[in-house]
């Protein structure tokens, strides 16, 4: 089989790239190792930058987002027992939208199915090769049969554990990494959100985040040690601990109920440089990971795909490789700023016992400054709503 672009991975990055290229008349195949149901069952991000929403609309998948997404003009912080609001709209001129990654993925999968463009789920042993030449290939097995796809370019959109980055020779890639000693325990529950907007909580017992998926569904997170066993976290234990980290007024308003999903995610900062190796291009989590505190993971996947789709479209339309040559540097410039923001939000809001009493005082001073300084709030707002593409 021959296509113009072979895309590995049907997460948000691969599906969105596939849609933008299909709309531009470029033939693609998407190869995904999991089943469609499995991909849709993963509960992950929930907050979209305005720029991500605009890109989804441009890709032709914005209708349900515009109907069901919850527009938030502000975000709240709870520090040392009191809440304050950062007015995103006023300070940064933009809003954010709550619309689950699951919904984004579903909309993109539906559009893919409707377009008739090729997508293979449960593709085994997907293997990219020959990307240092003008004729790369991707082989895979499906239902016991071997297949080979010849293509002009390979897009590695297969997440942090994917095969694309692993296929690059060690000497050609440099990685930067920071691991954190804690994870996020998250639950989803069909209970109304405790507040109209998100609340990021800094508390001596650990960070917490109250977010949502709709007006009737809450998503809640607690900072927990990485050693924690999820089996030790009954629903009652979770709600009890969350209440202890909230200010008394918010805790009193919290509606509890059974969880419909519960998981622990480790936190990591990671960047691979460059994001291009001959005719293989990495996008999204395949190239970089952020700790979730700044809500940047899914949004970075979208901005990478914006740059990559533009570059591929210009290759086919104008026979120009200039934008492809610039892809890695353009994407990384935005990635590093989001890495910095995610790292700084993580440092600001979580408990780091190893940093001692001085570290705690520095954190408190920075939080006090943030609570009272328009300049500090503007810097947070500008990054939170998403830096321009
Ligand atoms: P992915 O969504 O990981 O998609 C990659 C796809 O490639 C997957 O479908 C995978 O099955 C497939 N694949 C992998 N290997 C292969 C292979 N060898 N062959 C074929 N296919 C392959 N971000 C936030 O902003 N907020 C959050 O709350 C948040 N929570 C998260 C919770 C978890 C548990 C995780 C893992 C991530 C979370 N993120 C969060 C990050 C966010 O979900 C990601 O940044 C986003 O999914 C990136 O999209 P992607 O398409 O690049 O990668
Ligand atoms: C969500 C997750 C985040 O990490 C974040 O910063 C904001 C929202 C969410 O799951 O809705």
**93-134 per-position pLDDT tens digit:** 999 999 999 999 999 999 999 999 999 999 999 999 999 999
Nearest-atom number in ligand 2 for the CA of 293 is 6
State the helix-helix crossing angle for 374-384 and 356-372, rounded to 10 degrees. 90
C-alpha of 137 from chain center: 28
Nearest-atom number in ligand 2 for the CA of 46 is 11
Alpha helices (H) in 254-349, listed in sequence order: 297-318, 322-349
Three-state secondary structure of 160-197: CCCHHHHCCCHHHCEEEEEEEEEEEEEEEECCCCCCCC
Sorted by sequence, the CB contacts under 8 Å of residue 105 that are 6+ apart come out as: 10, 11, 12, 15, 39, 40
For residue 6, the model assigns a pLDDT of 98
- For ligand 2, the distance from its centroid to the CA atom of residue 118, given in whole angstroms, is 32
Q: Above 90 in pLDDT, residue 161?
A: yes
Neighbours of 252 (CB within 10 A): 10
Could you tell me what percent of the chain has a pLDDT over 70?
100
- For ligand 1, the distance from its centroid to the CA atom of residue 22, given in whole angstroms, is 22
Place of tokens 């095969």: 163
Q: Above 90 in pLDDT, residue 182?
A: yes
By the 8 A CB rule, do 262 and 233 touch?
yes
Sorted by sequence, the CB contacts under 8 Å of residue 143 that are 6+ apart come out as: none
The ligand with the least distance to the CA atom of 18 is: 1
d(CA 246, CA 222): 11
Give the chain's length: 389
Q: Above 90 in pLDDT, residue 217?
A: yes
Q: Above 90 in pLDDT, residue 81?
A: no
The closest of 313, 285, 228 to 4, measured between CA atoms, is 313
Could you say which of 292, 306, 307, 327 is catalytic? Answer: 292
Q: Above 90 in pLDDT, residue 363?
A: yes
Q: What are the tens digits of pLDDT across the range 44-60?
A: 999 999 999 999 999 99
By the 8 A CB rule, do 178 and 266 touch?
no
The ligand with the least distance to the CA atom of 123 is: 1
Q: What are the tens digits of pLDDT across the range 258-317?
A: 999 999 999 999 999 999 999 999 999 999 999 999 999 999 999 999 999 999 999 999
Dihedrals φ, ψ of 183, to 5°?
-130, 180
Query: Coil, strand or helix: which one is 315?
Result: helix
For residue 32, the model assigns a pLDDT of 98
- For ligand 1, the distance from its centroid to the CA atom of residue 285, given in whole angstroms, is 6
CA quadruple 284, 71, 265, 293: dihedral sign? positive
pLDDT band at 80 (very low <50, low <70, confident <90, very high): confident
211 pocket-lining for ligand 2 (C-beta < 6 Å)? yes
d(CA 357, CA 364): 11
For residue 384, the model assigns a pLDDT of 98
Could you say which of 200, 221, 307, 327 is catalytic? Answer: 200
CA dihedral 309, 313, 314, 320 (to 10 degrees): 100
Q: What are the tens digits of pLDDT across the range 226-244?
A: 999 999 999 999 999 999 9
Q: Label residue 72 exposed, middle or buried (CB < 10 Å: 0-12, 13-18, 19+).
A: buried
d(CA 33, CA 269): 25
The pTM score is 0.97
Query: Coil, strand or helix: which one is 257?
Result: coil
Mean pLDDT on 160-183: 97
Shortest-distance Cα residue to atom 3 of ligand 2:
295
d(CA 380, CA 389): 17
Nearest-atom number in ligand 2 for the CA of 211 is 11
Q: Take residue 286 and report the two structure tokens written for it.
A: 């395949």
CA dihedral 39, 41, 42, 46 (to 10 degrees): 110
d(CA 160, CA 127): 16
d(CA 197, CA 86): 10
């Amino acid at each position: 089989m021959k296509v113009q672009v072979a895309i590995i991975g049907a997460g948000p990055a691969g599906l969105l790239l596939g849609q933008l290229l299909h709309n531009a008349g470029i033939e693609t195949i998407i190869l995904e190792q999991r089943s469609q149901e499995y991909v849709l069952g993963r509960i992950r991000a929930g907050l979209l930058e305005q720029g991500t929403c605009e890109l989804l609309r441009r890709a032709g998948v914005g209708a349900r987002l515009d109907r069901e997404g919850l527009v938030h003009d502000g975000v709240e912080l709870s520090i040392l027992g009191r809440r304050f609001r950062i007015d995103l709209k006023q300070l940064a001129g933009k809003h954010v939208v709550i619309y689950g990654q699951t919904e984004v993925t579903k909309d993109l999968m539906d559009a893919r199915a409707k377009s008739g463009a090729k997508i293979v789920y449960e593709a085994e042993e997907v293997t990219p090769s020959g990307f240092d030449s003008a004729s790369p290939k991707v082989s895979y097995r499906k239902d016991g049969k071997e297949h080979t796809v010849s293509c002009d370019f390979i897009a590695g959109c297969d997440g942090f554990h994917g095969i694309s980055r692993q296929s690059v020779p060690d000497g050609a890639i440099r990685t930067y990494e920071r691991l954190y000693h804690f994870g996020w325990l998250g639950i989803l529950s069909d209970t109304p959100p405790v507040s109209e907007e998100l609340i990021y909580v800094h508390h001596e017992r650990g960070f917490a985040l109250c977010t949502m998926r709709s007006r009737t569904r809450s998503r809640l997170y607690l900072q927990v040690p990485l050693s924690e066993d999820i089996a030790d976290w009954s629903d009652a234990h979770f709600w009890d601990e969350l209440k202890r980290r909230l200010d008394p007024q918010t805790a009193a308003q919290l509606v509890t109920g059974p969880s419909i999903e519960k998981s622990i995610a480790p936190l990591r900062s990671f960047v691979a440089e460059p994001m291009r190796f001959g005719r293989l291009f990495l996008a999204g989590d395949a190239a970089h990971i952020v700790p979730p505190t700044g809500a940047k993971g899914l949004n970075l996947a979208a901005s990478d795909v914006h740059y990559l789709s533009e570059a591929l479209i210009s290759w086919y339309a104008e026979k120009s490789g200039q934008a492809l040559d610039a892809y890695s540097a353009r994407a990384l410039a935005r990635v590093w700023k989001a890495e910095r923001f995610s790292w700084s939000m993580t440092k600001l809001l979580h408990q780091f016992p190893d940093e001692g009493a001085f570290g705690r005082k520095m954190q408190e001073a920075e939080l006090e400054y943030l609570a009272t300084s328009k300049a500090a709030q503007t810097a947070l707002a500008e990054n939170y709503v998403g830096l321009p593409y």
